[in-house]
Amino acid sequence: MAKKLVFVSGKGGVGKTTVVANLGMHLARLGQNVVLLDADIGLNNLDVIMGVESKVVYDILDVLEGRCRLKQALIKSDSCDNLSILASAHFGAGHITAAEMRLIVANLDVLFDYVLIDCPAGIDNGFHRAVSGASEAYVVVNPSISSIRDADKVLSILNTYKLNKMGVIVNRVRADLIMLNESMSVDDITRLLKIIPTGVIPEDDDLNLCSCVGKTAESKETKRAFEILAENILTGSTKMYDCLEKYKSFFKRIKLRKRMV
């Protein structure tokens, strides 16, 4: 039986879809058979981020309305043989129900080890439709007050579902700003949300560019952060990527110089 993970956010723009894409690729590289399900009906872009938009012939609505079989709609990733994508529908899919979404996930369940569901941002019908088919849920959050508040609300709603596990992934962490006390730290977020993050991903200007061509992040730091996240998801470990590590010695030297002046 596959693990069915839904990735949610209280607001758009936190990098949720990019997290789903890169996590999927790293799980596949660890030998897992993975499918990425785009449940963001109408505003979908997972196929674009994975660089397979030109390969989409059938989507989730085609499967539900019987125009193709499920396996016909699955698109293989160019980067990993054991990573597939099921595209969402651009038009006419507003009437897809939670029961139909659960049916799609149940059919994917027998084909894959992991089903990663990219949920639309917010907490409207699309949120409940996507979450209804999941066994685990992960809230993607940025280190900002508004994002933390939204994440807290989403976690409260997720508590009403019968999920095996809930987690938080802190994305776009700026270590330099944390060291300068201009941004919340991971410890601050942990204290506010009362949950230990499953993963911490640093800010990386090249990350979106890599995702658009179906590749994993190239920078050493971001690659390691996703490796740790994938290992935590796969094994249940609680390792934490330390975004501050490479800055600590630098800022120590700066402070020492200021004291000597």
Between β-strands 165-173 and 34-38, what pairing exists: parallel, antiparallel or unpaired?
unpaired
Query: Residue 236 is encoded by which pair of tokens?
Result: 């249940």
Q: Which amino acid is at 51?
A: G
How do residues 184-205 score in pLDDT, each as one tens digit? 999 999 999 999 999 999 998 7
pTM here?
0.92
Based on the structure, what is the number of domains in the chain?
1
Q: Which domain holds residue 56?
A: 3-260
The whole-number pLDDT of residue 232 equals 98
The whole-number pLDDT of residue 137 equals 98
In sequence order, the β-bridge partners of residue 74 are 86
Query: Residue 105 is encoded by which pair of tokens?
Result: 């996930």
Q: Which amino acid is at 207?
A: L
Output the domain CATH number for residue 54.
Answer: 3.40.50.300
How do residues 40-92 score in pLDDT, each as one tens digit? 887 778 998 998 999 999 999 999 999 999 999 999 998 889 999 999 987 65
237 Cβ contact partners less than 8 Å away, ≥ 6 residues apart: 231
How do residues 205-233 score in pLDDT, each as one tens digit? 777 665 555 555 668 899 999 999 999 99
- Which stretches within 10-97 are classed as H helix? 16-29, 46-49, 60-64, 70-73
Q: Which helix (H) or strand (E) holds 171?
A: strand 165-173
